[in-house]
Amino acid sequence: MAKENTNADSLISVIISGIEDIKGKEINILDLRSIDNTVCDYFIICEGTSNTQVSAIVNSIQKKVSKELKDNPWHTEGMENAEWVLIDYVNVVVHVFQKHVREYYDIESLWGDAKTTTIETSY
The string of pLDDT tens digits covering residues 23-56 is 999 999 999 999 998 989 999 999 999 999 999 9
Q: pTM to 2 decimals?
A: 0.94
Q: Determine contact, residues 89/39, Cβ cutoff 8 Å.
A: no
- CATH number of this structure's domain 2-115, picked from the four choices 2.102.10.10, 3.30.460.80, 3.50.50.60, 3.30.460.10: 3.30.460.10
CA angle, 40 then 71 then 47, to 5°: 60
| Residue 61, SS3 per DSSP | helix
Q: How confident is the model at residue 122 (pLDDT cuts 50, 70, 90)?
A: confident
* Domain chopping of the chain, boundaries: 2-115
